[in-house]
Amino acid sequence: MNEIEFLPKRFREKQRRSTIKAPRLLIFSLLISLLAIVSLVELARLYQVRSQLANLKVQHKRIDLLAQQVEQTRAEVAQKRHYARLQTFLEYPYPRSQILAVLLNPLPGDITIKRIELTHSQVVGNSTRQKSEKGNGQVPPGDPMQIDLAQLIDENKTRQCTVELEGTTDNTSLLYTFLATLHESKLIESAKIESIDPQLDSDGREFSNFTAHVQIRRGHFRDFYTTIVQALPTVPGEGGVR
């Protein structure tokens, strides 16, 4: 059975267009909603990124400030280190603690040291100092205290340090052996007996008073920058050292 259309053709066309337009409007609405949701999500992410960027800028400023403080502290530490090295060298130009360690550790049991005296003398002319004082009128680059320390070390290399030992021994041959072993140290240039005086105590036991000179090798100041020793005072003459 055929269906008869009573509506005019233009009404049928309008109805057909309305039927097609409804799904399109629905799809368009869905797209608009999706775009709105995506925009909101992106705006939230943008706000989060901007917040993180602001926090990073604050942290960056703090890091820059800390870096400046670190550099300032390093400069102050370097300045104080130069001062400490210069002050140490001015007070203790020779490594007394190392010298005492070489002389007294170990000290043979038959030898008693009663006096230790450290002296130094100029063995090379002062032409180096006069030449440096003339100069060319220009200030060398670098920290002034570090420059002074380097100059003092160079000047002090021309000095000869001598340690005078006075003591007693019950075994003269052991004394000579002890002085011979001192040559094995990098600090010692020579060690020799200056005088020896045989004596008898109240019990008739033989012993000898001796005086020895030990010369310290020049040039050990090259290690001054890496090793700053704590100098020990001169051993007093009373009581002796075993």
pLDDT in tens, 47-63: 999 999 999 999 999 99
Q: What is the chain's alpha carbon radius of gyration, rounded to the nearest angstrom?
A: 46
Q: 96-123+158-223, which class in CATH?
A: alpha beta
- Residue 207 burial class via C-beta count within 10 angstroms: exposed 0-12, middle 13-18, buried 19 and up: middle
The overall average pLDDT reported for the chain is 76
**For the ranges 17-21, 98-102, 116-120, 157-161, which has the lowest average pLDDT?**
17-21
> How do residues 94-123 score in pLDDT, each as one tens digit?
677 888 888 887 788 889 999 998 887 766
Q: Which residue has the tokens 């007093």?
A: 236
Rounded mean pLDDT of 195-222? 81
Q: Provide the percentage of residues in the chain whose pLDDT is more than 70.
A: 68
Q: How many other C-beta atoms lie within 10 A of the C-beta of residue 145?
A: 17
For residue 228, the model assigns a pLDDT of 38
